[in-house]
A and B are shown apart, each in its own frame.
Chain A
């Protein structure tokens, strides 16, 4: 029985799709069967980030409406053979997804995969609530800046009320993934610090992903950063996050706090 994880945020553009692809790929690289599902109907991006945009024949809506079988719609990744994508439709919109259809597809996916990672659209309306409805766990992606933090707080409130787990009276495990973290700007007070964000959101920290050009480069190449530049700082941070998701205890490294070589050599602080 697979675990369903929703990657959500409230705010748009914080790194949900990037993180879904990176975490999905990192988990699949450990040999587990992973399916990443794009819930952003009408504005799909997950297929682009995975470089699968020219291979989408059937999508989530087709399967949910019974027009295609799940096996016909699943796209296997060419680089990691235990990673599969269920793409969204670009021509329709969120109202085309029915609750029963989604429930049925998620049920089928649970039988086939170890992890089902749902990439939620931004916002708090139907698309976002459908994406979180069947989740067992949530990853709340947040940038360390005020509007993202407030929107994440809102989405945490919804995770505790609009999901099947909440309706059953169970408490969903929620993890904070802090993305686009820039240590220099945080030190100068231009961005919120990790402590500030944790103080407001009060959910356990899954990982801190540093701001990096590697992420943009990977997206444009159609490859998740954990596959494309596996030794880069963001990729290593995503890999640590995956290990924590699986229950391992991995010490948290705040990016940018390691002092550069010369400063350590001469005992000076970096400018």
Chain B
């Protein structure tokens, strides 16, 4: 959705789902910790930067011992981010929060993911701009492809050039080439231009070639989808 007017700053929430490793400590805890140490010796740093949870519904443990367990795991660089099946005495402000909506996932999938991440350190992705602004003419033969969002051209798009956008296309000049909006499936993508001389327009899968633009030639227009039909409306 494109916001055209800037309202007051709002907090934005997004969702994210992650796969986490679930560790299930068994009594006696000391033995389980020793086994964990052996495992960590063989694969040091395995749990670094991976989300780790504890499942303790099957473990009888008092508050102090649980707190000690969390501490022991932290000293082994295992930061527990959440706990499942905890009793009320296991929850406190400085202990991992309880979660309950986890769904089982294959550990193999998780290991694959980890292996890939270990092999190729995940690049810090810079925030990719959703809207691309081009402050120049788009020359014949050039192709602007931006499936992530809107494209705005401050200039003209020449005959023989094309603009391909995942979102809407805004051309503050003459459109003499091809414009293809909504390629990533957004049905409300639109095409705007100051002078229509386009060879070809398309929004999603619906297209219109130049021969069907007749009386709109040279006008300032706004094209949008209505179901599967393209409506071109004159702006001035």
Residues of chain A whose beta carbon lies under 8 Å from any beta carbon of chain B: 124, 150-151, 153-154, 156-158, 160, 199-200, 202
By a CB distance below 8 angstroms, the chain A residues around B176 are 200
Contact B140 A202 (CB under 8 A): no
By a CB distance below 8 angstroms, the chain B residues around A199 are 174
- Interface: B156 (CB within 8 A): yes
Question: In the complex, what distance in Å separates the CA atom of A111 from the CA atom of B142?
Answer: 36
State how many angstroms separate the Cβ of B117 from the closest Cβ of chain A.
35
By a CB distance below 8 angstroms, the chain B residues around A151 are 140
By a CB distance below 8 angstroms, the chain A residues around B161 are 157
**21 CB < 8 A contacts A-B:** A124-B141, A150-B140, A150-B158, A150-B159, A150-B160, A151-B140, A153-B140, A153-B158, A153-B159, A153-B160, A154-B139, A154-B140, A154-B160, A156-B139, A157-B140, A158-B141, A199-B174, A200-B158, A200-B159, A202-B137, A202-B155
State how many angstroms separate the Cβ of B161 from the closest Cβ of chain A.
8
Question: In the complex, what distance in Å separates the CA atom of A151 from the CA atom of B156?
Answer: 16
Q: Assuming the A-B contacts A157-B139, A160-B139, are A202 and B160 also in contact, with contact meaning beta carbons closer than 8 angstroms in the complex?
A: no
Contact B142 A157 (CB under 8 A): yes
State how many angstroms separate the Cβ of B140 from the closest Cβ of chain A.
4
State how many angstroms separate the Cβ of B26 from the closest Cβ of chain A.
63
Which residue on chain B has the smallest CB distance to residue A171? B136
Top 4 A-B pairs ranked by shortest CB distance? A157-B139, A153-B140, A154-B140, A154-B141
B-side interface size class: 10 to 19
Q: Assuming the A-B contacts A154-B140, A157-B139, A157-B141, are A202 and B159 also in contact, with contact meaning beta carbons closer than 8 angstroms in the complex?
A: no
State how many angstroms separate the Cβ of A140 from the closest Cβ of chain B.
11
B137-166 near A? 1/0 per residue, CB < 8 Å: 101111000000000000110111100000
State how many angstroms separate the Cβ of A72 from the closest Cβ of chain B.
40
B154-190 near A? 1/0 per residue, CB < 8 Å: 0110111100000000000010100000000000000
State how many angstroms separate the Cβ of A155 from the closest Cβ of chain B.
9
Question: In the complex, what distance in Å separates the CA atom of A200 from the CA atom of B160?
Answer: 12
Question: In the complex, what distance in Å separates the CA atom of A152 from the CA atom of B205?
Answer: 32
By a CB distance below 8 angstroms, the chain A residues around B140 are 150-151, 153-154, 157
Question: In the complex, what distance in Å separates the CA atom of A200 from the CA atom of B156?
Answer: 8
Question: In the complex, what distance in Å separates the CA atom of A157 from the CA atom of B157?
Answer: 12
By a CB distance below 8 angstroms, the chain B residues around A124 are 141
State how many angstroms separate the Cβ of A174 from the closest Cβ of chain B.
11
Contact A202 B156 (CB under 8 A): yes
Question: In the complex, what distance in Å separates the CA atom of A10 from the CA atom of B156?
Answer: 20
State how many angstroms separate the Cβ of B180 from the closest Cβ of chain A.
19
State how many angstroms separate the Cβ of A92 from the closest Cβ of chain B.
28
Question: In the complex, what distance in Å separates the CA atom of A157 from the CA atom of B142?
Answer: 7
Question: In the complex, what distance in Å separates the CA atom of A158 from the CA atom of B158?
Answer: 14
By a CB distance below 8 angstroms, the chain B residues around A150 are 140, 158-160
State how many angstroms separate the Cβ of A173 from the closest Cβ of chain B.
15
By a CB distance below 8 angstroms, the chain A residues around B139 are 153-154, 156-157, 160
Most buried by A among B137, B155, B176: B137
B82-118 near A? 1/0 per residue, CB < 8 Å: 0000000000000000000000000000000000000
By a CB distance below 8 angstroms, the chain A residues around B159 are 150, 153, 200
By a CB distance below 8 angstroms, the chain A residues around B155 are 202
Which residue on chain B has the smallest CB distance to residue A159? B139
By a CB distance below 8 angstroms, the chain B residues around A157 are 139-142, 161
Which residue on chain B has the smallest CB distance to residue A202? B137
State how many angstroms separate the Cβ of B194 from the closest Cβ of chain A.
12
Question: In the complex, what distance in Å separates the CA atom of A157 from the CA atom of B136?
Answer: 11
State how many angstroms separate the Cβ of B172 from the closest Cβ of chain A.
13
Which residue on chain A has the smallest CB distance to residue B197? A200
Question: In the complex, what distance in Å separates the CA atom of A160 from the CA atom of B136?
Answer: 11
Question: In the complex, what distance in Å separates the CA atom of A202 from the CA atom of B174?
Answer: 12
Which residue on chain A has the smallest CB distance to residue B141? A154
Question: In the complex, what distance in Å separates the CA atom of A200 from the CA atom of B141?
Answer: 14
Question: In the complex, what distance in Å separates the CA atom of A59 from the CA atom of B101?
Answer: 80
Question: In the complex, what distance in Å separates the CA atom of A200 from the CA atom of B139?
Answer: 10
State how many angstroms separate the Cβ of B159 from the closest Cβ of chain A.
5
Question: In the complex, what distance in Å separates the CA atom of A157 from the CA atom of B143?
Answer: 11
Which residue on chain A has the smallest CB distance to residue B155? A202
Question: In the complex, what distance in Å separates the CA atom of A201 from the CA atom of B176?
Answer: 12
